[in-house]
Amino acid sequence: MPRRKRGVPLRVSLVGLMLVLVALGLVVSGVSVTSALENRLIDRTDNGLRGAAEGWARPRDGDDRGPFGPFGQSGQSGSPTTERRPPSPYYVMLIRSDGTTFTVNDVGGSPDLSDLSRFSTDPVTVASATGSDVRWRVVKVTATNPSGVSITSVVAIKLNDVDDTVTRLIWLQLGVGLGVVVVVGGLGYLLVRTSLRPLRRVEETAEKIAGGDLDQRVPTSPPNTEVGRLATSLNVMLHQIQNAFAATAASEEQARSSEDKMRRFIADASHELRTPLTSIRGFSELYRQGAMTDTGQLMARIETEAGRMGLLVEELLMLARLDAQRPLERAQVDLLSLASDSVHSARAMAPEREIALQVLGGPGIPAVMGDAARLSQVLSNLITNVIRHTPDDATITVQIGTDDRDAIISVVDTGPGLAPADRARVFERFFRGDSSRHRDGGVGGSGLGLSIVAALVDAHGGTVGVDDTPGGGATFRVRIPRAE
């Protein structure tokens, strides 16, 4: 298994890069300052060296006298008398044209003058003749008097003062540079740590989100900073991700709910269709066995069950079309006229029932944009449901009215009403309430009438609900947006 490479933390990398840049800057500046100072000191030394060499080479009062008196006899070597000169900081070698050489050495030590031909009026640096670490600066100057006598002076001076000054400067720069690096490193670490603290909070938030807590959000920072803009972008992304997860979960839940409803719908439809089919099969078996002598009555019962089965199939097809959200034929519908026709039809169907039409006050006329046939079916199903589930002495009132936005249809009865549990489920498919509400001995309808009402009202952009009627009974109220 390959080993994971350990990365360097960002704050360490930033501080390290900062220190490298600072150190590089200090080195460059130190080298520049040191070189400039050394060159300046050597230039000053060279100027003094040239002046001294020219003075030593200049003859006095004759062809055999140097700057401090006679050299002596021809061919002799020695040192000029020191009785008339102060101590000199220079090492001086005087060479006359006849080869006589004299030296002045008040400083101790001597430069390497083994090859005099390499020296000129341009000063050069040479090592010590004794092999020590002392460096010398040497210049050679030749002067000739009018008599033709020439004197060559080789003048040298130690660079100890220059080297000591440069060395002290280097040590001073090293000390100051080390202090600067330490201070910059400490301050830089604190600055980087403080600046990266929001990123640490982003990291902690990301770890919590990775653990499944999608409600976490990155703490905000000033929007004019990079971290602030990053936090804002991450929060927007997290909000979108959370919404996407929520939408996915809701979609999955809706799919599961729809699947469960579909299973129940198929099971209920199968059960409802099984009942008339079983009846028809039973009657057919009785007829085949000759157990039924009244053929007319037998055919009437088979016809009744077939009609019941046909009605159920039509209602199932209606719900399937509504679930498919097929567009309705929309036109302006006068609900008052439609309600009047529905009330007349209901009176003809149940002449023993007291069914009334009541017009309520409200702005405008009760007109909507919709499918007149489907809206008529809404009213018919509501009235039929009341007739089927209330006693004969219960009154039925169809109310038509408006408010600022909707047209309102209410079907009010004075029957036994609905239990709270039934009221919450009354619009579910194949739901049947308490059998005591069935006026035909407990045999209810298909259980799809109110489901069709809810689907048709929803297709018209409206709502339907049920409340208790004051004094007893139930009130079904439909609200549909008014026509503009």
* Predicted confidence (pLDDT) per residue in 342-375, tens digit: 999 999 888 999 999 999 877 777 789 998 988 9
pLDDT of residue 274: 72
pLDDT 10s digits, 416-452 = 888 888 887 888 877 766 554 444 544 445 677 888 8
Position 52 pLDDT exceeds 70: yes
User: How far does CA 90 lie from the centroid of its chain?
Assistant: 77
Comparing 217-326 with 328-481, is the CATH topology the same? no
Q: What residues have CB less than 8 Å from 205, skipping those under 6 apart?
A: 216, 217, 218, 219, 234
Confirm if 335 and 375 have CB atoms less than 8 A apart: yes
pLDDT over 70, % of the chain: 84
Distance CA 211, CA 161 (A): 72
Q: Which of 401, 334, 398, 409 is nearest to 361 (CA)?
A: 401
Q: Mean pLDDT over residues 203-227, rounded? A: 78
**Are the CB atoms for 411 and 476 separated by under 8 Å?**
yes
pLDDT at residue number 441: 42
Q: Is the pLDDT of residue 73 over 70?
A: no
What's the pLDDT score for residue 71? 47
Query: Quick one: pLDDT at residue 82?
Result: 46
pLDDT above 70: residue 62: no
At 6, the pLDDT band (50, 70, 90 cuts) reads: low
SS3 letters across 249-289: HHHHHHHHHHHHHHHHHHHHHHHHHHHHHHHHHHHHHHHHH
pTM value is 0.47
Beta strand 135-144 with 150-158: parallel, antiparallel or unpaired?
A: antiparallel
pLDDT given for residue 358 in this prediction: 92
- Say if residue 56's pLDDT is above 70: yes
Q: What DSSP letter does each residue of 179-221 carry, written as one string?
A: HHHHHHHHHHHHHHHHHHHHHHHHHHHHHHHHTT-TT--PPP-
Pick the more confident residue, 440 or 327: 327
Position with higher pLDDT, 435 vs 303: 303
Q: What are phi and psi of 147, to 5 degrees?
A: -80, -5
CA distance 327 to 371: 10
The predicted pLDDT at position 77 comes to: 46
Cα radius of gyration (the chain): 59
CATH class, range 217-326: mainly alpha
Give the C-alpha separation, 459 to 89, whole Å.
117
Q: Where are the domains of the chain?
A: 10-168, 217-326, 328-481
Please tell me the predicted confidence (pLDDT) of residue 443. 43
Length of the chain: 484
Asked if residues 268 and 447 have their Cβ atoms less than 8 Å apart, the reply is: yes
Query: Under CATH, which number does the domain 328-481 receive?
Result: 3.30.565.10
**What distance in Å separates the CA atoms of residue 371 and residue 448, rounded to the nearest whole number?**
20
- H or E, element range at 357: strand 355-359
CB 5, CB 159: distance < 8 Å: no
H or E stretch covering 344: helix 335-349
**Which pLDDT tens digit goes with each residue over 156-166?**
888 888 889 99
Give the pair of three-digit tokens for residue 361.
């006050």
